[in-house]
Amino acid sequence: MNNKIFKTSSRIYTVLCIFLALVSCREDEVGPLENNPNTPGKIENVNILNIAGGAELTYTLPSDQDLLYVKAVYTLSSGKVAEVKSSYYQNKLVIEGFADMDEHDVKLYAVNRSEKVSEPTTVTIQPLESPIWEVFRTLEATTAFGGVRLTAKNELRTDLSLLLMEKDEYGDWITNINSIYTSTDSINKTIRGFEIEEHNFAITVRDRWLNTTDTLFTSITPYPEVALPKSKYKPFVLPNDTKTHATAVLSRMWDGETFNWPGVFLTDGSVPGQHLATFDIGELTQLSRIVIWDYPEYYNDRSYYYIGNLKEFEIWGSANPNPDGSLDNTWYRLGSYNAVKPSGLPFGEQTGEDFETARAGFSWEFDVAAPKVRYLRIKSIKNWGGIGSMSIAEVQVYGAPNE
């Protein structure tokens, strides 16, 4: 009796395994959404608007009820075949990736839910000049403290790279790992970490399709600079400096904490007008720059470019300030600054590039003609929230103490 039950159970188990295997096989089969053997109609009435590096195409869709998408297939200047798709919900797609202004054929196909492809509709585009060339024409490389400063205009906010190269010991050009990768409209960055000796640099602009411009060659000997030790920094409160938060005091700016509460300096937001804060760097120094780490507020997880973060501000330096706190001729304006969000997004929004740029700290250059100073004064004109208060997580001052 028990043997019969066991045999019956074994048969049931075997049949169940076969059934599950068949179901699994069916689930693994990937195919079209439908099974329509007919090919869709062609794309018609194509209008071409040539744009920088490509073209915008508008067209009439075929009347097929099971149309799924339209795709464009074309060959880039590099010889690579590119493909762009657009949903049947719209009648437009954008062709991108060209670095020349030659004529190029683009084939348009309608594709239905059975993945049947129509006959091609071929059009010829002639892209306008690629954005990388305007960036290259505005590219400048100048001497900076500890490195080279690169500036350029990228008005179309194209995703691109400014590649800084230097020859290695074998004579091969090697790209610096700190080269610039951005989509901001105004590029202004200093690449540092070089020995104080003459460097022969090569700089080129490259887009995300690996198109590259000509190369700018330059020879630069960086100015010497060192990070001034924070152990020497101390508060230097003058009579008209702004009241600070009870616990977020001046010394929080050099406590080594760049991100988390309570390692932040805050002025009292209830005080109207422009805010002032003064501190002593410990010794008379020819300064080159200051790095300021903004404090990321607890908004949408953590947000920079928000509330008390500095937007429009000035930094002043003095060797012997007037003890009454007047911003008079005992002070020298080291620089006026306007913080810019790389993405250009509205207040309260940020991209990954925005976040990482702020988290790395903003480096603000000082006037190279400025005299030696010992005391620094930050004057907040307007923060990202539109008032004068300031929130600063950390500062690091650089200069050449022996100059």
Check whether 6 has a pLDDT greater than 70.
no
**Which two structure tokens, joined as six digits, stand for 377?**
């004064």
**Buried residues in 6-40 as b, exposed as e (16+ CB within 10 A):** eeeeeeeeeeeeeeeeeeeeeeeeeeeeeebeebb
Average per-residue pLDDT for the chain: 91
**pLDDT above 50 (res 3):** no
pLDDT at 78: 86
Question: What is the reported pLDDT for 32?
Answer: 58
- Digit-coded pLDDT (tens) for 168-183: 999 999 999 999 999 9
Q: Which two tokens stand for residue 12?
A: 């049931």
pLDDT category at 218 given cuts 50, 70, 90 is very high
Residue 4 has pLDDT above 50, yes or no: no
Contact 179, 164 (CB under 8 A): yes
109 or 17: which leads in pLDDT: 109
What is the pLDDT at residue 37? 78
The residue-averaged pLDDT of 43-65 equals: 96
The mean per-residue pLDDT over the stretch 23-42 comes to 65
Q: Span 44-125: which CATH code?
A: 2.60.40.10
Domain spans, the chain: 1-30, 44-125, 131-220, 228-400
What pLDDT does residue 286 have?
A: 92
How is domain 228-400 classified at the CATH fold level?
Jelly Rolls (2.60.120)
- Output the furthest CA–CA distance in the chain (Å, rounded): 110
User: What does the pLDDT average to over 3-21?
Assistant: 50
Q: How confident is the model at residue 22 (pLDDT cuts 50, 70, 90)?
A: low
Does the fold of domain 131-220 match that of domain 44-125? yes
pLDDT of residue 21: 52
pLDDT confidence of residue 300: 87
CA atoms of 362 and 39, how far apart (whole Å) = 57
Cis, bond preceding 262 (omega within 30 deg of 0):
yes
Question: What pLDDT, in 10s, does the model give residues 241-285?
Answer: 999 998 899 999 999 999 999 999 999 999 999 999 999 999 999
Name the token pair of 230. Answer: 């924070």
Rounded Cα–Cα distance for residues 393 and 381 (Å): 18
How is 279-315 classified by DSSP, letter by letter? Answer: EEEEEEEEEEEEEEEE--BSSSSSBSS-TTSEEEEEE
| 198 CB-near residues (< 8 Å, 6+ apart) | 219, 220, 221
CB 322 within 8 A of CB 239: no
Q: What is the pLDDT of residue 220?
A: 96
Q: Per residue in 56-111, pLDDT tens?
A: 999 999 999 899 999 999 999 889 999 999 999 999 999 999 999 999 999 999 99
294 beta partners: 392
pLDDT in the model for residue 38: 86
pLDDT band at 20 (very low <50, low <70, confident <90, very high): low
Residue type, 347: F
pLDDT at 19 over 60: no
Q: Residue 33 region, left (φ>0) first, then alpha (ψ -120 to 50), else beta?
A: alpha
Given a cut of 90, whether residue 287 has pLDDT beyond it is yes
Q: For the structural domain made of 131-220, what CATH number should be given? A: 2.60.40.10
- Per-residue pLDDT for 1 more than 80? no
